[in-house]
Amino acid sequence: MYAVRVSKTAPHAYRSLREAVTDERLDGSEDLYVHIEPGEYEETRSIRVFRQLLVVPTEGPGTVRISAAGDDGLFHVRGALELYGLLVRSASAEPVVTASEAGRVKLADCVFDTASALRLGGRHSDDEVVNCRFENGGIVWHGGGGQLSDCHFERAVLHIQYGAEATVHSVEFTGYLAGGENPLPTLGIRGATAKVTDCVLTDAGPVGSSTAVNVSEKGRARFENLSFTSDRTAAISVVHEGTRAEFSGLLVEGRQDPEADGESSVSVYLGAEAFIGNARITGGRRNGLTLNSGARVILDGLTIEDVRVHGISVKESALNGRSLVFRGVGGNAVRGTDARLTLSDVEIGDQPPETEGAWCGLRAWQGSLEVDGLRVSGLTGAAVGAWGCRANLTGVTVENSRSGIGAEEDSTVRVDGFVCSRVEANMVTALSGSVVEVVDAKLTDNQGYGLAFADAGDLTLRSVSISGSGYNAVGVDNGGSLTLEDVDVRNSSSAGLMVADAESRATLRRSRITGNALAGVQAHPDAVVEMRDVVLRDNEGGDWVYSE
């Protein structure tokens, strides 16, 4: 290895890096160690690196400034390049460092203020970037791979793509990027593999569109402790079949620009897969998390707070989630459209007072819904709404909300273990051809409606206690069917059971209807009411009344 000196003033020293590297007196096959003295150096032409080239300031980091004044970049690397403690500036559209397939790069304690990103990634490279700062440009890792740690990106990008394999640790991104027709993410992983730990993005990403973090084109990424804060941009998108991203310790916070249409804080779509665990999403002009077009997502510990529209929106995709908390969500906590939803240990509460409309906590249209453990309070709509779907609900508790569980449009719903109290409207409703079965439930205290109602639907209650209704406790109308087995109905403000029209049917087995303010059973004269082992007693309007 040759050791040479570059200096602005020292006699017998080279005056520029290029002069030292291209000196024909030095054997071009030998490695070169360049000691560079303090000062500002201008390189007007690019430097070709075919061997190992080390450049080190004699007085430590920050004492040497290099300006790339040419239009063809600064370093073209086919050998190995190591830069330590340099400040490099360039206004050129060409990268200041470009590594070919055989090139290897190590950067330490450097600052790069450049118009374009450095291009790394030799075919078999093991690049290393440590304690560097990138302004306006950044790094594109195109193939190859290596490690990056303890770095700061200011209005700059880190793109890992097309076969690259990189490990990123302790990195910070700040500053928004320009939007435009094809905006680039701040942190992008495209067709590559990456592990990213302890990453912080603050006011980063392209303004007005796209997301700050993007994983795409069969990329594989694992994120640990990723934090995103912004008032103007969305956080994360995972896209394309074969793409997979894992997030552990994710924090997304901030509201988007109220003048913009808004994007979901986190989006997974077009067949991509994602795992999100131990995560929190707060704020956001639209949805906290959106799944679309064949996405598959697993959640294990997610809190979503204060998002303007839906907590999670799932369309033509599959969601499997446990330990989910929703607070202050302006729309549905989970909204499924032709989706497969499998949820457990879910808590929904505290819709904001300015919420417009009656939003369900869980809303499923077509598709399927499986829930094991749901606690709901403070909603403007139903706890669960099913439209044309199949649903199985276990361990549901609802209080202080508009209504309980509703099914419409030929849904099939089974509820096993249901406690509902202090709601304004019906606690269980079967409408428009839906079939609902409720087993082991306690329904108490609503403010002006019945507790369970079948309207052109089929409702079955088994082992259910019903009391304190503000209207008829249980009812059936418009040709619906109602079955009570081992049900106790008492203390309603009106009738215990209402069969409203001739086309409706009620079947009671081993049940009690007692202590209601009006009739125990009030039925249309032509309605079919079948009773077996039923107790009617102490109903103030009579135990049995026929009326149209």
| Rg, Å, the chain Cα set | 33
Structure tokens at 333: 């906590």
Q: Which residues of 168-205 are buried (b: 16+ CB within 10 A; e: fewer)?
A: bbbbbbbbbbebeeebbbbbbbbbbbbbbbbbbbebbb
Distance CA 284, CA 231 (A): 8
Question: Taking the model in full, what pTM does it have?
Answer: 0.94
Written as tens digits, the pLDDT of the chain (548 aa) is 889 999 999 998 999 999 999 988 887 678 999 999 999 999 999 999 999 999 999 999 999 999 999 888 999 999 999 999 999 999 999 999 999 888 999 999 999 999 999 999 877 678 999 999 999 999 999 988 899 999 999 999 999 999 999 999 999 999 998 766 678 899 999 999 999 999 999 999 988 667 899 999 999 999 999 999 998 888 999 999 999 999 999 999 975 455 445 578 999 999 999 999 999 999 887 899 999 999 999 999 999 999 989 999 999 999 999 999 999 999 999 999 999 999 999 999 988 876 666 789 999 999 999 999 999 999 989 999 999 999 999 999 999 999 999 999 999 999 999 999 999 899 999 999 999 999 999 999 887 678 999 999 999 999 999 999 989 999 999 999 999 999 999 999 999 999 999 999 999 999 999 999 999 999 999 999 999 999 999 999 999 887 66
Diameter of the chain measured on Cα atoms: 117
**CA neighbours closer than 13 Å in the CB half-sphere of residue 400:** 8
491, 466 contact by CB (below 8 A)? no
